[in-house]
Structure 1
Amino acid sequence: MMPRRHKPCFAALAACLIAGSAIVCVVCQDSQPDDIDSFVDKQNITLDQLNDECWVWKSTLWGAPVKDYSPISKRRVWLTDGCAEACQRHEQCKAWSFDWKGECFLLSNVTTLLKAGQSDLRNFAFVAQGKRGSRDCRPLDERRPCLEHNVKILWSDISYKYADANLTVEECRQACIKTVECRFFTLLALPGETRQCFLKNAGVNDNKLCSEYATSGFANGRDCGSPTEPLTPSEDDVKKLTSQQLFVSLDLLKKSYPPFPLFQEAYEKVNQCGCYREFTKPFYQEIEDDSEGDSEGEGDGEETKKPKTAPGSAVMLREIPTYLTPPRRCQLFCQADDRCQHWSTRWNRCFLWADVQRWLEGPDIPDLAGPKLCPRDKLEEGLRCDADFYRERYTPLSLFVLKVRDIRVPLGGSCPIEISWASLSWMLAAAILLLGTFVVAVISKVHFERRTNIVRVMIAAISMWDFLTDCAFVARSYEYAQLWVFWVGIFHLNLVIFSNSIALIYMTRSRDRQGHSFRKWMEQHQQYSHLGTLLVFVSSFLHLGVLHLFASRLFGWTLFSLEVHTKSLLTMEMLTLAEDVPQVALQAYVLLNQGSGGGGIPSVTLVSILTSIFQILKLLLFLLKYAMHSIFPSVATKSASRTAASSFAPSLRYGHSSDSEDFGGGAERTVSKTTASDMSLVKAANEQQGGP
């Protein structure tokens, strides 16, 4: 005769014959154990192959039951020791098996050994089998584990008989041994109150909570003493974090330990020890709402009317049905929801909350609550090596030269320090460009063309580099989480090119002296007209930088030195300044959001900073140049007169040479016009100074 749970499924077999379904038959024949999935290894075995001395845990036996067999229910035997004792008392019993349900099977012979899996965690520790006369050979700490002080077992209560009996710890343990199905117990000894003893049939670590004045343990456990001092971080961890100046991580590490005494072993077993709060839940109160038409998704039959809550109530995001679900699982639900900030749970429900304004506390509240992330969660995530870390650990300027990977390293590890060669190359190229531009302008002014405007040459270089950095900013922002920054930047660049083109067309087609000079130059140099037009309109793409070079008379190259009036050039520069404002605003937004949050693209931030620096330098040069013409007119006039007088002879020479080459017989006429123009400029300057 086989054990009751191993009998063939006669009713199911009849159904197979009636329905003609071979699949159902196969399933029935292979389902002799009620939970075959909990066994991952099945092998044949004989009685002689069993261990003669020790019990074997996490496995069960199949075989022939003793005569007149009836499985011993968990109402009679609820501990492994009781099943072994029952086999010892029965004459025909050769082996016993205590399965995951808590039933005890006495066998006269064995045929199959099944090693248990992990499907049932609650009673997994009680799965065992053994030969008659064998014993529990486990170490003492496993056979009779120490009681856990300041640890409470949640739920799984089977009796409240001793809740107000004011028992001691040992009396509560003895009461558990005598109570049917009791395997664990918890004693609450709050100061000034009656000691409460709760008997439980399960005590897995996931359902344990660090709670002061509570003592929990196994029915056959033993008292190994009570902790006397609260736990603190190890000296090695403190030194390691202090040496790296990781004070935020050190503070989290200290907060991860509860403020009351606890053994290290208990602290490591209990999930988020000291982070969860008992008898606590957010304030949430629904009130009657007589209004109509406020339902969500009305008419589709799926959405229900959103309840109206009292002022100060928290926002309930979700209510998840559960049954004896560990608090940690409810917290993981909260961590999976971006909106969730806190959670609360009871034995059959898990609630996710947001915008909690106040909490309700009291012994009559059965809920347990906690935050989305506990200190240990943050520590397990590791140290985040983002822009904020490098800015705080070193200096804000470190972002210019360090590569920020935005990664996490384990607690106590150090963030990598790598040089960003791309950033250094970019800054080096900018420095070489600006320095080279200044040197070239000085050489041009000293050796070639005294009327070379150094400030304007520098503005030209800064304008062109500014536009390139704008393009780099837009290109790198494509990797940014907020893609709209990229599209706004693209729109702005196109708008800049369009507005600059319109301004140049207006300048070249105008009837004033500037437009007349441009058209006259084009008529005189028809062989260079296409090149000149191309270079002029390249200014639209290089932020009017080429136009500044035209107006600077660099190297005295009259071929590309257009007669651009100061007022017209000022208009162009104010246009570029107006175009820079949206770009600076966009870069400031990216800098503030990415810089403060450490969210991930320091390269874009670096380009933003460089671009903003160039724009500020350009603005300062604008102000400096026009301050000389407006605030200090006498200085500007003297400078103009000196420049005109000193360049009179060179201008005559360059004008004669150029005109004679380009126009042949009309050279003398060109020289006389140039001389008269320069002499009138000197005379006007002398009159403004008050004398010849």
Structure 2
Amino acid sequence: MRALLLVCLISGCPPFMRRGGAFRMVQEPDGGCVEDSRRSSDCSDEDHVTVAPPANATCYEWDYTYEGFDLPDELGLGHTVARPYDCQRGCASNERCVGWTHSKIEGCYLKSSNAGRKPMPPNKTETQENWFVSGDKFSTDCDRGSLVSPCYEYNVACITGWARSHYREGMANVTLEECHDLCRGVPMCTVFAWHHRYPRDMKVYENMCILCNNKDRKICTPGAIMGQVEGRDCGPPASITFPPQPLPPLTEDGMHGKLADPAKYWGLPTDSNARALGKEGTAEELAYQRGDLGVPSFLSKPLRYGVTVNDTDNNVYYHLENCGCYHLGVQPDPKSSTLLASMKLQLYPAEQCQQLCQEDAQCEAFTSSFFVCLLWKDVSKWVLDQVEPIVVSGPKWCPAALIDAGYSCSIEHYRARFSSWALLFLYVPSDVTMPYGQSCPFHIDVGVIAFLMVACVLLLTAGGLAWHSRRRHGNTVVWRVMVATVAMLGTVFQLAFAAFLFVDSYKGWLVYVTMIHLICMVLFNEVVVILKNLNWVMSDPSYRQWFDSSSTSPDRRTFKLQGSDRGRGHGTLLKKAVTWCTVENRLSGSTSTPPDEDEDELDKDEDEDEPFTINFPIDLLSDATVFPPSLVLHHHQEQDEQQPARPEVEPHEHPHGDEAILSVQSVDDATPPGTHSLPTFSASLDDSFGVSTDMLVKEPHRGAEIRASDSLEWEEGRGLMFVLFASFFSISVLHVCWSNLWSRAFFAIPVASDAFVSLELLSLVGSLPMLAIQACAVFLSSSDGFLAAYVPPVTLTCLVLSAINVVGVLVRFVWWLVARRQPPKGK
């Protein structure tokens, strides 16, 4: 019978069955094997090499149990083994064992006798399934013929053994076959690792055997051989040399704690800033952003040693995932690295510890040892480990994982693929990855075009309004309106630029620098403009009048000159009214009033056609104040307070010959209704009020000689308010104050425009940094977000407006310098 069994195992058995321990081979008509879920999902065939059965082996008895006669467990938790084969070999290594029983749920039990043999059919419920199989000390599974015997794996080792094994620390100075035999004698041992060199207790041991219980927990280790308990030695492939040259800490004793050279260990980052450590990337990684060209070399470097990994299911060798990423006897330097967490694990795979590291944003590397997982950050150095337990360490991301993840369609990729200038137009997607060798999407950002169109429409609108104002009033300076509009838009779009940076990324120094710059620019502009206005108020009486203009009644606009003599002994300040005369009346000496205008003309806008009266506190005018002989004015003395408020006083001759001074009369009567012409002043008036005669211009429609500022209708003290509000955006916005736009007083500062040329240079304090910030966003932005995480769509519009502002200020200043050096015409 035993001879028949051997023949059956070698050449195949016919399909027959025998009760009790007889053969039971089931085949389908086409010759294929039928999987039996009670026993194993493996189905042997002629292409698989199976484990040789023991000598004089009997067959397993399925659906039988041996009750009683249990032996104590002395071989490492034999009752927890998963396969009948492991239970049988545990019995074979025990001298007292006669038979065994294995249950799917209860595990393995070694028996000193099989006298309790009885049938035990399978028990299947909705939640679980249980079955029993028993056998003699030397037996084999006749149903499948035997287990498949895989080849050993070279330069591969299982991770450190479990703590409850009799050989948990391993055994030194044993041969490869002896190591295999040790594993056969321990039911829980399913895998063993034989190391040509192994570090321990500050020493390097040779021919070390370590027993493991999981064939899937393994790493690539040079100089190691891993085999399954049912495996066989097929020898190293011809393509590799075994054992390879050892690396520290396997080279000599006493190397524990010494620094390790990361360059010697494949897959271990050589730079503390490497992406595999969870940081931004090394210089080499950052320099390679063309993932569309293929996998980079630093991720696809070959191992310095060959690896053969056996795929039991397919009976082929394959490349182990993350091979070379995990390292035995190398760990982050505890002195320079920071320990994030120390966690207890029920399992001991390096992959599980690495996964925990990947889930922690701060983790850069991990260390796994005896069901303990350590997570590290701030890793910049690696050290060697020669003290038990020997650790297995690795980076946060292995090269294979980075290749599988593909490359990011980041801002660096588009910059490397096109140029930094292209970022002004391109849409850069967020959180989009592509497989290596494939191109990222290419799209034009419609937001860029939208912002440019908005800026152009606003500029054209401002230009159209200025042109319309020039056609209506004749003296509007269109180019100043355009310059002011460009300066204002530049600041408004800079605010939008800062808002985009904050809302979309809210990280990076550039967003904070932009906000601080805007605040400082506003404060600088306001302080400079206030100081300049104070200087103009103190030095230019005409600007002081413009600055202090206010209203004493809702129907009149007046000048109030705040003199030092105001209020001296006067209870009520009388006002001296000025009558009006045209050029023709002045030349003829006539005092006739201007002709009345039509009622339609009187019904025009109040700001344009309301009678204009210049009123001064009388105590500010001295007796020396004289007017040209063309102005026929009368002087009246102040009456008593009990007299009517507005007396009529007869004019009289003044000692100054044909010159006359102002007379006191009713303010309402002093100004003819509907008049538009302002009085002309002689040189003697210039001396009294400090008004420069070069401010006189010709009114084109009246022919009267008037001041440019006085030809405009005065607002109620709004000049300085407008100046401060305009300078909030930019000093260059104050161009509109010299533009005479719509004949508004606060659009016609009564100060020569030359005084603004040097002031406008200070606008570069805001424009130049603004331009530099926008350029930094284009050329220095990156996906790590240190300065900026992306280029906002408004950046192109901001750059154009800022460049126009800067160039315009410089050109206007140079033009002014050149004009000053040229001699006046006619000389």
Please confirm whether the aligned pair reaches a TM-score higher than 0.5, indicating the same fold. yes
SS for the counterpart of 2:487 is: helix
SS for the counterpart of 1:463 is: helix
**TM score, norm. by length of structure 2:** 0.52
Q: Deviations over 1:329-371 (max 9, x none)?
A: 3333444444443333332544344455654336556223222
Amino acid at match of 2:446: W
1:577 is aligned to 764
SS for the counterpart of 1:626 is: helix
1:595 is aligned to 782
1:291 is aligned to none
1:406 is aligned to 430
CA contact (8 A) 2:87 2:100 kept: no
User: In the superposition, relative to structure 1, how do residues 354 and 626 fare at CA in structure 2: closer, same or farther (>3 Å)?
Assistant: same
How big is the shift at 1:144?
A: 2.7
- Alignment partners' CA distance in 2, 1:229 and 1:445: 90
Higher helix share: 1
2:450 is aligned to 425
The equivalent position to 1:474 in structure 2, one of 482, 495, 498, is 498
2:153 is aligned to 148
Amino acid at match of 2:189: C
- Alignment partners' CA distance in 1, 2:307 and 2:409: 33
CA contact (8 A) 1:388 1:596 kept: yes
1:208 is aligned to 218
1:371 is aligned to 395
1:361 is aligned to 384
User: In the superposition, relative to structure 1, how do residues 423 and 132 fare at CA in structure 2: closer, same or farther (>3 Å)?
Assistant: same
CA contact (8 A) 2:737 2:747 kept: yes
How big is the shift at 1:421?
A: 0.1
1:167 paired with 2:175, answer yes
How big is the shift at 1:153?
A: 0.7
1:273 is aligned to 323
CA contact (8 A) 1:209 1:271 kept: no
- Trace 1:67-146 onto structure 2 (pairs within 5 A): 67-68=67-68, 70=70, 75=75, 79-81=83-85, 83=87, 97-99=103-105, 102-103=108-109, 108-110=119-121, 112-113=123-124, 129=131, 135=141, 143-146=148-151
2:355 is aligned to 332
How big is the shift at 1:172?
A: 3.8
Amino acid at match of 2:825: N
2:306 is aligned to 261
How big is the shift at 1:616?
A: 3.6
Q: Deviations over 1:622-651 (max 9, x none)?
A: 12211222256335x6xxxxxxxxxxxxxx
Q: Deviations over 1:420-467 (max 9, x none)?
A: 10112223444566688789989999999699474x455323202202
- Alignment partners' CA distance in 1, 2:39 and 2:422: 57
- Alignment partners' CA distance in 1, 2:439 and 2:385: 44
> Greater CA deviation, 221-230 or 269-278?
221-230
- Alignment partners' CA distance in 2, 1:116 and 1:103: 24
1:392 paired with 2:416, answer yes
How big is the shift at 1:472?
A: 0.7
- Alignment partners' CA distance in 2, 1:199 and 1:68: 34
User: In the superposition, relative to structure 1, how do residues 199 and 472 fare at CA in structure 2: closer, same or farther (>3 Å)?
Assistant: closer
> Greater CA deviation, 621-630 or 267-276?
267-276
How big is the shift at 1:686?
A: 2.7
SS for the counterpart of 1:595 is: coil
Structure showing greater Rg: 2
The equivalent position to 1:177 in structure 2, one of 181, 184, 202, is 184
How big is the shift at 1:51?
A: 11
1:342 is aligned to 365
1:382 is aligned to 406
> Greater CA deviation, 339-348 or 209-218?
339-348
Identity %: 21
How big is the shift at 1:403?
A: 1.2
CA contact (8 A) 1:522 1:529 kept: no
- Trace 1:671-690 onto structure 2 (pairs within 5 A): 685-686=824-825
- Alignment partners' CA distance in 2, 1:129 and 1:565: 108
SS for the counterpart of 2:489 is: helix
Gaps of 5+ in 2: 1-23, 27-33, 42-61, 92-98, 112-116, 199-203, 241-265, 267-287, 312-316, 550-558, 560-707
2:96 is aligned to none
- Alignment partners' CA distance in 2, 1:438 and 1:481: 37
Residues matched between the structures, number: 533
Amino acid at match of 1:391: R
- Alignment partners' CA distance in 2, 1:536 and 1:458: 17
Q: Deviations over 1:89-116 (max 9, x none)?
A: xxxx999524475557987223633799
- Alignment partners' CA distance in 2, 1:136 and 1:128: 20
SS for the counterpart of 2:348 is: coil
Amino acid at match of 2:84: T
How big is the shift at 1:394?
A: 1.4
How big is the shift at 1:85?
A: 9.5
> Greater CA deviation, 525-534 or 617-626?
525-534
- Alignment partners' CA distance in 2, 1:573 and 1:621: 10
- Trace 1:471-550 onto structure 2 (pairs within 5 A): 471-479=495-503, 480-482=505-507, 507=533, 510-511=537-538, 512=540, 513-516=542-545, 525-526=712-713, 539-540=726-727, 542-543=729-730, 547-550=734-737
User: In the superposition, relative to structure 1, how do residues 560 and 317 fare at CA in structure 2: closer, same or farther (>3 Å)?
Assistant: closer
SS for the counterpart of 2:498 is: helix
**TM score, norm. by length of structure 1:** 0.61
1:56 paired with 2:106, answer no
User: In the superposition, relative to structure 1, how do residues 180 and 381 fare at CA in structure 2: closer, same or farther (>3 Å)?
Assistant: closer
> Greater CA deviation, 72-81 or 149-158?
72-81
CA contact (8 A) 2:64 2:134 kept: no
User: In the superposition, relative to structure 1, how do residues 547 and 186 fare at CA in structure 2: closer, same or farther (>3 Å)?
Assistant: same
Amino acid at match of 1:467: T
2:257 is aligned to none
- Alignment partners' CA distance in 2, 1:531 and 1:405: 49
CA contact (8 A) 1:282 1:358 kept: yes
How big is the shift at 1:391?
A: 0.6
SS for the counterpart of 1:407 is: coil
2:738 is aligned to 551
CA contact (8 A) 1:98 1:104 kept: no
- Alignment partners' CA distance in 1, 2:39 and 2:425: 58
- Alignment partners' CA distance in 2, 1:161 and 1:605: 60
Gaps of 5+ in 1: 1-49, 88-92, 118-126, 233-241, 285-308, 638-684
Q: Deviations over 1:143-176 (max 9, x none)?
A: 33332222101111643898444524x5543443
CA contact (8 A) 1:320 1:351 kept: yes
Q: Deviations over 1:55-112 (max 9, x none)?
A: 426899x99954436489584785522557999xxxxx99952447555798722363
CA contact (8 A) 1:80 1:128 kept: no
- Alignment partners' CA distance in 2, 1:374 and 1:245: 17
1:351 is aligned to 374
1:462 is aligned to 486
2:591 is aligned to none
How big is the shift at 1:399?
A: 1.0
How big is the shift at 1:188?
A: 2.3
How big is the shift at 1:377?
A: 3.3
CA contact (8 A) 1:386 1:600 kept: no
User: In the superposition, relative to structure 1, how do residues 74 and 515 fare at CA in structure 2: closer, same or farther (>3 Å)?
Assistant: farther
- Alignment partners' CA distance in 2, 1:349 and 1:362: 16
- Alignment partners' CA distance in 2, 1:401 and 1:107: 83
2:281 is aligned to none
**Two-structure CA RMSD over aligned residues (Å):** 5.3
CA contact (8 A) 1:96 1:130 kept: yes
